[in-house]
């Protein structure tokens, strides 16, 4: 559990951990350079319960703190908790039951999101996934009801087999000071043999806490630049371990392209319409370099005709349109939906040449 200036929330979180029905746990708390009373609260709890271990260190970020905890862990299974959240007392007992029943590498449960402002349940941000088991995860094709999609990208609703994580060597990437959950999960996916998910909402996920990254994202979406950082990192990792061709053929690459790249240009967001010319030119160049570098992903399974059209447009070096083509592009820009967005982007790219 990475802890940074969370003293007001620790009692509720640690109470839920020490009273788990599964008693054989160690609770590793990494005090990540806190400047409030976090360290004092943690050490007070450690004095009362020998299962709690506290590490005080200079601030290094959440990803790095989680890695420290993973390396210290002596148990057979690993779970992560955020210190401003809390768990049902039955959570880890239920997850242990499922991971052992299915001999899974990772098992997940649902979660309930609640507001830090007034404690109200936020149903639209909660998750009650359908039960599912995927015995051959590495060979499965992507679809919207995939077990791994039901599990969600968040880290703290899961239990991981420690031997599995150690064998594949997956750790959180410290260069991501935010958004590291997605990267970690997409790396785990490429190695896991078996997944399981249960619908029970066993984790309580605090939202709308001012000053947190998640609060800023809830107010104005995840920054497109961070999405691109994650896409670049994950696809480079897949390529490094020799899994990119599999991701291409099974539709997984198309999924991450849609989520981290195409969502910003093919949807109503139309990110390029919000940027100035210099920012647009830099983003077009970044998208083009990634698309041109994805030789294996030139035509991934799972992209529809408009996705492919936008990819072809973004892969091409911007060229100034002749007057007739320019007039046609502006005329077509008035169309609704993706057709209009495509021609608006085409006109914009012509102006960047």
Rounded to the nearest 5°, which phi and psi values hold at 133? Answer: -135, 130
The pTM (predicted TM-score) of the whole model is 0.91
Could you tell me the pLDDT band of residue 294, with boundaries at 50, 70 and 90? Answer: confident
What mean pLDDT do residues 118-146 have?
A: 91
What mean pLDDT do residues 65-88 have?
A: 97
For residues 345 and 265, the answer to whether their CB atoms sit within 8 Å is yes
Quick check: helix, strand or coil at residue 112? strand
What mean pLDDT do residues 25-34 have?
A: 97
Q: What is the pLDDT of residue 181?
A: 93
Q: What is the pLDDT of residue 213?
A: 56
Per residue in 147-159, pLDDT (tens digit) is: 999 999 999 999 9
Could you tell me the pLDDT band of residue 218, with boundaries at 50, 70 and 90? Answer: low
What mean pLDDT do residues 247-273 have?
A: 91
Q: What is the pLDDT of residue 237?
A: 97
What mean pLDDT do residues 44-73 have?
A: 97
Q: What is the pLDDT of residue 194?
A: 96
C-alpha to C-alpha distance for 291 and 295, rounded to whole angstroms? 8
Tell me how far CA of residue 224 lies from CA of 104, 269, 333, 344, in angstroms.
34, 11, 23, 19
Q: What is the pLDDT of residue 339?
A: 95
Q: What is the pLDDT of residue 97?
A: 97
Q: What is the pLDDT of residue 221?
A: 62
Nearest CA among 247, 141, 149, 142 for reference residue 197: 149
Check whether 219 has a pLDDT greater than 60. no
Q: What is the pLDDT of residue 139?
A: 80
* Average pLDDT of the chain, as a whole number: 92
Nearest CA among 69, 57, 52 for reference residue 31: 57
Check whether 220 has a pLDDT greater than 60. no
Q: What is the pLDDT of residue 215?
A: 52
C-alpha to C-alpha distance for 226 and 183, rounded to whole angstroms? 11
What mean pLDDT do residues 182-191 have?
A: 95
Q: What is the pLDDT of residue 231?
A: 95
Could you tell me the pLDDT band of residue 51, with boundaries at 50, 70 and 90? Answer: very high
Identify the burial level of 33 via C-beta atoms within 10 angstroms of its C-beta, where 0-12 means exposed, 13-18 middle and 19 or more buried. middle
Torsion of CA 137, 143, 149, 153, to 10 degrees: 90
Could you tell me the pLDDT band of residue 222, with boundaries at 50, 70 and 90? Answer: low
What mean pLDDT do residues 51-71 have?
A: 96
Q: What is the pLDDT of residue 298?
A: 67
Kindly report which listed range (58-62, 167-171, 173-177, 296-300) carries the lowest average pLDDT score: 296-300
What mean pLDDT do residues 83-100 have?
A: 98
């Amino acid at each position: 559990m990475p802890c940074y200036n969370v003293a007001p929330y620790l009692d509720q979180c640690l109470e839920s951990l020490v009273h788990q029905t599964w008693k054989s746990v160690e609770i590793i708390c990494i005090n990540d350079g806190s400047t409030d009373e976090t360290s004092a609260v943690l050490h007070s709890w450690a004095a009362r319960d020998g299962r709690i271990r506290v590490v005080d260190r200079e601030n290094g970020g959440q990803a790095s703190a989680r890695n420290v905890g993973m390396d210290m862990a002596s148990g057979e299974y690993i779970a992560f908790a955020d210190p401003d959240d809390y768990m049902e007392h039955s959570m880890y007992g239920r997850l242990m039951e499922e991971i052992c029943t299915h001999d899974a590498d990772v098992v997940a449960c649902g979660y309930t999101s609640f507001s830090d402002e007034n404690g109200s349940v936020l149903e639209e941000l909660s998750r009650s996934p359908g039960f599912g088991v995927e015995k051959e995860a590495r060979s499965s094709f992507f679809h919207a009801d995939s077990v791994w999609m039901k599990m969600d990208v968040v880290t703290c609703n899961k239990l991981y087999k420690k031997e599995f994580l150690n064998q594949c060597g997956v750790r959180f990437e410290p260069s991501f000071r935010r958004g590291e959950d997605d990267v970690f999960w997409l790396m785990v996916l490429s190695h896991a043999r078996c997944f399981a998910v249960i619908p029970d909402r066993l984790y309580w996920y605090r939202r709308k806490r001012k000053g947190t990254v998640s609060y800023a994202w809830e107010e104005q979406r995840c920054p497109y630049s961070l999405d691109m950082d994650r896409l670049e990192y994950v696809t480079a990792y897949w390529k490094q371990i020799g899994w990119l061709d599999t991701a291409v053929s099974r539709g997984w690459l198309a999924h991450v392209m849609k989520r981290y790249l195409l969502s910003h240009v093919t949807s109503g967001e139309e990110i390029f319409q919000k940027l100035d010319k210099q920012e647009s030119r830099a983003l077009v160049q970044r998208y083009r370099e990634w698309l041109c570098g994805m030789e294996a992903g030139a035509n991934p399974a799972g992209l529809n005709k408009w996705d492919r059209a936008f990819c072809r447009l973004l892969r091409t070096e911007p060229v100034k349109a002749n007057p007739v083509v320019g007039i046609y592009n502006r005329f077509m820009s008035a169309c609704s939906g993706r057709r209009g967005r495509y021609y608006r982007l085409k006109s914009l790219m012509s102006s960047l040449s």
